[in-house]
């Protein structure tokens, strides 16, 4: 009983106290960013993404790593290899296992919801595959999409990038049939930016971060939605910068936004506002070619991975004082309640 108190109370503390406090601090930082006079919603996307995902990922990574390193022998390796000392490792190992279990249960649910559209091999799908191949071959800017497209007949699917590490653009047969080559090429140019920037992976990581935090959606959901909207507008701008026709892309956007007859869709009118904003920007790009104001917006993921790696290493380098405190606190609480 006494051995289980720290793993159980520790996990509850991390999930119910540390993560919500982190979400609260992150919200404060995001609000400060939004209210700063030099802030523009279409800029600073990488920083905002790091804040949103880091609010859950970094505390969890630290506690997981600390749990692994905190063994009574002072060596996590001896915990794994030496049977005599293995018994001493029970509490931190149990704590880590409980946290990992919580992560997996939420993570599996999120990932299950995001299976990509299945590819089709019907005659019309093969015809579209050939059309895409020809279009990509004669459009140099779309070269990186060679071998990265799949054709799907999934009802209502328009066009989207899927796959966490191996990214592919899934093109809906029925949607593509409504587009001329110019519109389809512009839409593919938009998706190319998602492919280049590992956006499906980013979106899943963001959603995981929000889902793992008990207050994630409540406190940060609005900021995450705004980030996604801005990210889409950013991809429109990048597509135009890489040669896509702005008006063709705007038309493709509107075709993709039209619900098919078999779909039951009920998103709020604010999405229509976002669509109008994107179309408006593309109309503006048709008059004045956009300029790239700052960084290209693809460095965020690499930076996130580097920060995560540093966080994972830090308990090994700087000690596990916070977890020690949690451990002692849980045992004192137990003895106080038990006596």
Among positions 154-213, residues that touch another protein (CB under 8 A) are 156, 158-162, 170, 187, 190-191, 194, 199-200, 203-204, 207
| Structure tokens belonging to residue 105 | 């249960």
Region from 66-74, 81-89, 132-140, 256-264 binding another protein, contact rule CB under 8 A: 256-264
Measured between alpha carbons, how far is 183 from 252 in angstroms, rounded to an integer?
6
From 2, 17, 87, 225, residue interacting with another protein (rule: CB under 8 A): 225
Q: Which residues contact 129 (CB under 8 A, 6 or more apart)?
A: 149, 151
From 2, 80, 254, 321, residue interacting with another protein (rule: CB under 8 A): 254
Measured between alpha carbons, how far is 206 from 66 in angstroms, rounded to an integer?
23
Asked if residue 233 binds another protein (CB under 8 A), the reply is yes
Asked if residue 65 binds another protein (CB under 8 A), the reply is no
Of the candidates 299, 190, 202, the residue with the CA atom closest to the CA atom of residue 249: 190
Asked if residue 4 binds another protein (CB under 8 A), the reply is no
Region from 68-76, 138-146, 278-286, 311-319 binding another protein, contact rule CB under 8 A: 278-286
Asked if residue 257 binds another protein (CB under 8 A), the reply is yes
Region from 60-68, 79-87, 273-281, 307-315 binding another protein, contact rule CB under 8 A: 273-281
From 4, 24, 42, 100, residue interacting with another protein (rule: CB under 8 A): 42
Asked if residue 230 binds another protein (CB under 8 A), the reply is yes
Region from 82-90, 92-100, 132-140, 253-261 binding another protein, contact rule CB under 8 A: 253-261
From 221, 295, 310, 333, residue interacting with another protein (rule: CB under 8 A): 221
> Contacts with another protein in 285-304 (CB under 8 A)?
285-288, 290
Q: Which residues contact 244 (CB under 8 A, 6 or more apart)?
A: 141, 185, 186, 189, 190
From 29, 100, 154, 226, residue interacting with another protein (rule: CB under 8 A): 226
Angstrom CA distances, 271 to 87, 232, 266, 268, stand at 55, 12, 10, 6
Region from 2-10, 54-62, 80-88, 223-231 binding another protein, contact rule CB under 8 A: 223-231
Q: Which residues contact 198 (CB under 8 A, 6 or more apart)?
A: 164, 165, 167, 301
Per-residue binding string, another protein, 86-115, x by CB under 8 A, is ------------------------x--xx-
Q: Which residues contact 277 (CB under 8 A, 6 or more apart)?
A: 229, 233
- 68 or 176: whose CB is closer to another protein? 176
Residue 170, Ramachandran bin (φ over 0: left; ψ between -120 and 50: alpha; else beta): beta
* Element holding 321 (H helix, E strand): helix 321-338
Q: Is 134 exposed, middle or buried (0-12, 13-18, 19+ CB in 10 A)?
A: exposed
From 109, 126, 146, 276, residue interacting with another protein (rule: CB under 8 A): 276
Rounded least distance, CB 178 to another protein, Å:
12
Q: Which residue reads 């919500």 in tokens?
A: 20
Asked if residue 31 binds another protein (CB under 8 A), the reply is no
């Amino acid at each position: 009983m006494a051995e289980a108190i720290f793993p159980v109370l520790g996990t509850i503390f991390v999930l119910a106290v540390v993560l919500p406090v982190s979400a609260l601090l992150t919200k404060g930082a995001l609000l400060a960013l939004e209210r700063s006079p030099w802030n523009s919603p279409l800029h600073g996307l990488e920083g905002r993404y790091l804040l949103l995902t880091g609010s859950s990922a970094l505390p969890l990574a630290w506690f997981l790593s600390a749990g692994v390193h905190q063994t009574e022998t002072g060596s996590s390796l001896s915990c794994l290899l030496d049977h005599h000392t293995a018994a001493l490792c029970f509490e931190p190992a149990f704590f880590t296992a409980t946290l990992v279990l919580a992560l997996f249960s939420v993570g599996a649910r999120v990932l299950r919801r995001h299976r990509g559209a299945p590819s089709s091999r019907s005659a019309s799908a093969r015809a579209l595959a050939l059309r895409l191949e020809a279009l990509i071959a004669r459009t140099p800017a779309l070269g990186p999409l060679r071998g990265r497209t799949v054709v799907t007949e999934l009802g209502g699917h328009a066009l989207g990038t899927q796959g966490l590490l191996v990214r592919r653009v899934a093109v809906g047969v029925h949607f593509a049939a409504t587009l001329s080559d110019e519109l389809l090429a512009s839409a593919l140019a938009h998706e190319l930016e998602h492919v280049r920037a590992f956006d499906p992976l980013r979106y899943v990581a963001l959603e995981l971060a929000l889902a793992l935090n008990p207050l994630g959606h409540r406190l940060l959901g609005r900021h995450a939605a705004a980030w996604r909207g801005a990210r889409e507008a950013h991809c429109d701008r990048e597509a135009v910068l890489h040669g896509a026709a702005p008006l063709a892309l705007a038309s493709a956007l509107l075709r993709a936004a039209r619900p098919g007859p078999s779909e039951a869709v009920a998103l709020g009118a604010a999405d229509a506002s976002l669509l109008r904003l994107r179309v408006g920007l593309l109309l503006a790009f048709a008059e004045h070619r956009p300029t790239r104001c700052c960084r290209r917006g693809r460095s965020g993921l690499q930076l996130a991975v580097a920060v995560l790696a540093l966080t994972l290493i830090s308990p090994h380098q700087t000690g596990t004082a916070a977890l020690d405190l949690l451990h002692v606190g849980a045992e004192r609480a137990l003895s106080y309640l038990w006596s």
